[in-house]
């Protein structure tokens, strides 16, 4: 089974959760962490990651500042803001409710089989 692309709607949530858990990270580290947590089943496309980071920053959920990476290269580091923490909490609750509803449909299909 090959790696799956991250769903557009879930990428922002994964980025926020990653920053909550790990603290400030640069884009490459965020992508690697998401892939690592998925057990390398997901593939993060940089063409979707960086626009998502920009959108999250414009919405005020993350902030960024330039710094040096571990290998002394200039990198933009992203961090969760207070608004981002609130948004993550709200979206996590919504995600839990949505997945519970969907799980009911799959459970019903198994019972009727």
Reported as a single tens digit per residue, the pLDDT across 82-112 is: 999 999 999 999 989 999 999 999 887 676 5
At 87, which CATH number? 1.10.10.10
Cα–Cα distance, 88 to 80 (Å, whole number): 10
The reported pLDDT for the residue numbered 63 is 98
Q: Is 5 helix (H, G, I), strand (E, B) or coil?
A: strand
Instruction: Give residue 2's pLDDT.
Output: 67
Question: pLDDT digits over 25-55, tens only?
Answer: 999 999 999 999 999 999 998 899 999 999 9
Considering only CA atoms, which of 31, 28, 78 is closest in space to residue 58?
A: 78
In terms of residue numbers, what domain contains 76? 4-111
What are the percentages of helix, strand and coil residues in the chain, rounded to 5?
60, 20, 20
How many structural domains are present in the chain?
A: 1
pLDDT tier, 8 (very low <50, low <70, confident <90, very high otherwise): low
Torsion of CA 72, 13, 4, 8, to 10 degrees: -100
Question: How much is the pLDDT for 113?
Answer: 52
Structure-block tokens of residue 77? 């580091």
User: Is pLDDT of 23 > 60?
Assistant: yes
Q: How confident is the model at residue 9 (pLDDT cuts 50, 70, 90)?
A: confident
Phi and psi angles of residue 47, each rounded to the nearest 5 degrees, phi first: -70, -20
Q: What is the pLDDT of residue 111?
A: 62
User: Using an 8 Å Cβ cutoff, are 62 and 18 in contact?
Assistant: no
């Amino acid at each position: 089974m090959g790696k799956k692309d991250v769903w557009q709607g879930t990428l922002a949530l994964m980025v926020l959760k990653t920053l909550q858990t790990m603290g400030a990270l640069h884009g490459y580290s965020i992508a690697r962490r998401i892939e690592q947590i998925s057990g390398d089943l997901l593939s993060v496309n940089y063409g979707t990651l960086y626009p998502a980071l920009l959108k999250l920053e414009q919405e005020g959920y993350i902030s960024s500042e330039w710094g040096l990476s571990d290998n002394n290269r200039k990198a933009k580091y992203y961090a969760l803001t207070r608004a981002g923490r609130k948004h993550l909490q709200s979206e996590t609750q919504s995600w839990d409710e949505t997945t519970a509803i969907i799980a009911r449909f799959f459970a019903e299909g198994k019972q009727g089989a």
